[in-house]
Chains A and B, each alone.
Chain A
Amino acid sequence: MSETKNTFTLDGQPVVFEAGQTIMNAALAAGHYIPHLCHHREFKPHGSCKVCTVRVNGWLSASCTTPASAGAKVESEAPDIQEARRRIVQMLFIEGNHFCPFCVKSGNCQLQAVAYHLGMEDTSLPHRFPSRAMDASHPDVVLDRDRCINCSLCVRASRDADGKDLFGLSGRGIDTHLVVNSSTGLLKDTNIDANDRAIQVCPTGALLVKRRGYEQPIGERRFDAQAIECEFESKY
């Protein structure tokens, strides 16, 4: 097969892809970072956060669900797209309750890291200050819905990697929320384990292992050491 047959351009740079690959996965595999929150290469794409939106031959679409196609012109870091991504992240911040200075995930949080990456300086929109139920019923794991961005990564990881199917999204519209798959709706009545993938893939501080926090001093946390784009660009 010739080079152009399985190549698209990402902001002008050629990216080689395999048949069936999405733009996101092809870009990541080639060491190019496209901001994302609900995507994780191990799991089936969901396409809901829209942070990964790119322009493909003039049309905006989520790169994590759009198949790569030969010769496509993909724009990712155009000013209007970066601006929109910033707005999406702002929306995720004002939708929940994120008190970063007190959060154990601070410095290791992808929402925060993507916000830094995009140069988000304020939230600009009116905060909603929702009142959401916290689930601290389990001895080892806590679910703080205040910090949940409805990305569904835990839903997919629990189902597809842990084989437990412990989570689901419920409600509609702004009332969308994570529910726990047990008769009481509480974590204590599940067989969740502190080592479950579901907890590890949570991009924010919504799903946490208890009694583990502030383990690295400020300055040595995951995204202190390396900005999120550098982490992704060096990983592949």
Chain B
Amino acid sequence: MASPLGQSVTLHDIAARHLHARHRLLQMLREVQASRSYVPEEAIQFFAHVLNLPIAHVRGCVEFYSFLHTTPRGQFDVYFSDSVTDRMAGSEIVAKRLADRLGVTLGQPRADGRVTVSMTSCTGHCEQAPAGLANGRVFTRMTEARIEKMASLIEHGVPVSEWPAEWFHVDDGIRERGITLETFIPPGEAIRTALARGLPATLDEVERSGLQGRGGAGFPVGRKWRGAYETKGAHYITCNADEGEPGTFKDRVLLAKYADELFEGMTIAGLLVGAKKGYVYMRGEYEYMMEGLQTVLEERRAAGLLGENICESGLDFDLRIHLGAGAYVCGEQSALLESLEGKRGIPRVRPPSAVKIGLFGQSTINNNVESFVQAAQIAWKGAEWFSDHGETKSRGTKLLSIAGDCQRPGIYELPLGITVREVLARCGGENAKAVQVGGPAGTCVGRDEFDRRVSYADLATGGSIMVFNDLRDMVDVARQFAHFFAHESCGFCTPCRVGTQMLKHYADKIADGQGTQRDLEQVKSIGEFVKGYSHCGLGETAPNTLLDTIKRFPEEYTSRLLAEADFVPDFDLDASVTESRALTGRQDQLDQVHSD
């Protein structure tokens, strides 16, 4: 069968290129998917055999990740982002248009093996929406006119590499620069400064700066580094470049334009704790940046900034980049480590923390991209350079990625402690009625709360800011987030695995005008339960937007509830007998059951 990429690559080649290393299983499976449009049964058996892994392990991995498939997707595999802000920009319309033109149902491969069109979680290009992926390549600003052309290119079998280059153009999206975006470190300078100052003194510097984790949770970076520094034995450094929280796209820019700063930060952390190896775990959607990043790594190796005896320090450190394959939960630190080990991304039990027992059972420093970039800059420029900005409990500046109903969506580097109102003024979102700070896992605030602050002490965010104006239906927004979490739950624990499905069920029922007061109460009580009893941060935050919007926009919910008398049962008898009716050919009126 014709395949989109390197059809001649054999399973042997793939395994050999990855040195038959078990922890690279996911990387191998990604290459099989790319070259064959699916992971055939034969590949599952092959890798189990050559890597000496249980077949169930390999199968489990394939069936966990959204971008791996056990049946062929065809020559063209097209995904559209279905994040809320992509939908606001028309992603559903363009996706449906393409599906119509090609005569396919969303998510289902065309019978002739030509194409599959489907939706996927936020791809991280929200300010250039509608965005998506064509055979793994990111396209932006899709329009209906472009869709007509795309349909014809697909029908004619024109490879994606020959599609118009402007479809794949990604702007850096920077709107406002602060200290971080203005600071480019000449390669090696931060490392040399850190070595000259002394590595322990550099750790003091990072601690003094007050830098907190930029991935969202805000754990002090210096404290984490010190924990690892004081832990005996081997160490690893990992960088969280999964950027899966819908509406977050700031690490994208850092990876594209500030890779030296990122690698410099990881290297300093590595030299400090004596790690020999580090990994960047980058979301699969960002694969198009791989080549550029590899080039930077090569340049750094050539300059003696990676590899052996870095900057004459006598210390060794090197880096690899691993790609994810469509799983939001892999941004959760311990799931990320599992995924880096070539497994399903199931969050680990804590304690122990990753600083004690992390990657391959060793002490691990895991930080967000922006955290490493800023740590490198602090190592170079000193603690005050950073801590002079921001507020007491949230030092420094933060990259915000803003999308939705605003005139100037994009990336803004702003001091922490800034009010929502100020943020809206900068991006031209003054008409907002609601702002989602921190993505679906964050907080939804209404107009009377716009004086609240973006900071770790109040509204924490990994960067995502979504703006909604008066025309937006907040019940629908909350419903879409509920769908996101139900799709992304790893399935390990009962509260999240089943609870997110229940929240989705009731959110749909209410949004569709079929809900009653009782259903709304169910959402609240199941929501509180899922938050309290889930295993990891995914479940702990999944109900947030439903609960926030019920509290802040109650009338949007109550106005569409049915009176109790019009109770609609969860169980639809009519629907459930449809199949047997079809099988028995019975269509008589007498067997039609109605709830009234």
Contact = CB atoms under 8 A, between A and B. Distances in A.
B491 A173 contact: yes
A165 B490 CA distance: 22
Nearest to A67: B351
Interface in B120-154: none
B529 interface: yes
Interface string A35-57: 00000000001011111010000
A47 B60 CA distance: 19
Interface string A167-190: 111111111100111110100000
Residue of A53, A95, A169, A180 with most partner-chain B CB within 10 A:
A169
A114 to B, nearest CB: 12
A94 B526 CA distance: 14
Nearest to A49: B494
Contacts of B576: 129
Contacts of B581: none
A48 B535 CA distance: 7
B529 A87 contact: yes
A128 B501 contact: yes
A94 B498 contact: yes
Nearest to A170: B60
A172 B565 CA distance: 38
A130 to B, nearest CB: 11
Given A126-B570, A165-B54, A170-B56, A50 B64 contact: no
B86 interface: no
B349 A47 contact: yes
A105 to B, nearest CB: 19
A91 B63 contact: no
Contacts of A60: 532-533
B552 interface: no
B201 interface: no
Contact of B55 (A127, A175, A181): A181
A122 to B, nearest CB: 12
Given A165-B54, A170-B56, A173-B489, A50 B498 contact: no
B497 interface: yes
Given A47-B535, A50-B495, A170 B59 contact: yes
Contacts of B56: 165, 167-168, 170, 179-181
A218 interface: no
Nearest to A59: B532
Contacts of B63: 170-172, 175
Interface in A126-180: 126-129, 150, 165, 167-176, 179-180
A175 B486 CA distance: 11
Interface string B488-528: 11111111011111100100000000000000000000100
Given A179-B60, A183-B45, A50 B493 contact: yes
Contacts of B499: 91
Residue of B495, B526, B571 with most partner-chain A CB within 10 A:
B495
B494 A48 contact: yes
B490 A173 contact: yes
B577 to A, nearest CB: 13
Interface string B6-29: 000000000000000000000000
B381 interface: no
A204 interface: no
B486 A174 contact: yes
A44 B532 CA distance: 24
A172 B533 contact: no
Interface string B51-68: 000111101100111100
Interface string A97-130: 0000000000000000000000000000111110
Interface in B20-78: 45, 54-57, 59-60, 63-66
Interface in A4-53: 45, 47-51, 53
B66 to A, nearest CB: 8
Contact of B54 (A45, A92, A175, A181): A181
A84 B532 contact: yes
Contact of B487 (A95, A173, A181): A173
A227 interface: no
B498 A176 contact: no
B491 A50 contact: no
A174 B497 contact: yes
B493 A48 contact: yes
A165 B55 CA distance: 10
B327 interface: yes
A42 to B, nearest CB: 18
Given A173-B491, A174-B497, A53 B533 contact: yes
16 contacts: A47-B349, A48-B492, A49-B494, A50-B495, A60-B532, A150-B497, A169-B344, A170-B63, A172-B63, A173-B489, A174-B486, A174-B489, A174-B491, A174-B501, A182-B55, A185-B59
Interface of B: 45, 54-57, 59-60, 63-66, 327, 344, 349, 351, 486-495, 497-502, 505, 526, 529, 532-535, 570-571, 576
Given A87-B526, A129-B576, A183-B55, 12 more contacts: A48-B492, A48-B493, A50-B495, A84-B529, A84-B533, A87-B529, A126-B505, A169-B344, A170-B59, A171-B63, A173-B491, A179-B60
Q: Give me the 8 closest cross-chain CB pairs, A-B, nearest first.
A: A168-B56, A176-B491, A126-B570, A91-B498, A181-B56, A170-B60, A173-B489, A173-B491
Interface of A: 45, 47-51, 53, 60, 62, 65, 67, 84, 87-88, 91-92, 94-95, 125-129, 150, 165, 167-176, 179-183, 185
